[in-house]
Amino acid sequence: MKVKKINIIEQDIKKIVEYSDFVDDDNKDEKEEQLRNLIKEISISISLNKREVLAKECGISEMIGIHNVYNITIKRDDNEISFKYYDSDDNTRKKNKPDVYSLLCSCKNEYSCPNIFDDFCREYGYDSDSRKMEKLWKLCLAQSAKLKQIFNDEEIQLLPS
């Protein structure tokens, strides 16, 4: 499995800035500078792990589909996290790798996870009697904890969603 560091180029940064939630904010220039600085502080590495049925990981039959699964590593200062990233159907079919924008969107979307299982089920419309959903909730909690090693609450708000 070949690990490749993603070189974040200006084109990536422009796309990230363009689709960030602060685009219409009065402090847009300040937030753009904060985002640019944040992106400079992180490094992202990617390696193709395998192709698998998405539902296999958490046992959710409604999510069936073959996807490329990547190992993603994000480093910042002395902190390093790794996690699986299930790519989109479109990228899998076209044999494209995920881009920085997509990875950072996922980070923002996965950053917050309700600490109480019933709250998680209510927020996402899951059955709180399901053991499969409890397993998914625990996976989400673990992912959230990892991302909090790299980003803080203010920084995550700078990322696109």
Task: State how far the Cα of 143 lies from the Cα of 45, in Å rounded to an integer.
Answer: 17
* CA within 13 Å, CB half, 15: 12
> What is the value of pTM for the model shown?
0.84
Mean of the pLDDT values across residues 130-152? 94
Q: What is the pLDDT of residues 17-68, one digit of tens each?
A: 888 887 677 888 899 999 999 999 999 999 988 776 655 455 554 555 677 8
Mean of the pLDDT values across residues 10-19? 87
**Non-local CB neighbours of 153 within 8 Å, separated by 6+ positions:** none
Average pLDDT score, the chain: 87
pLDDT number for residue 78: 96
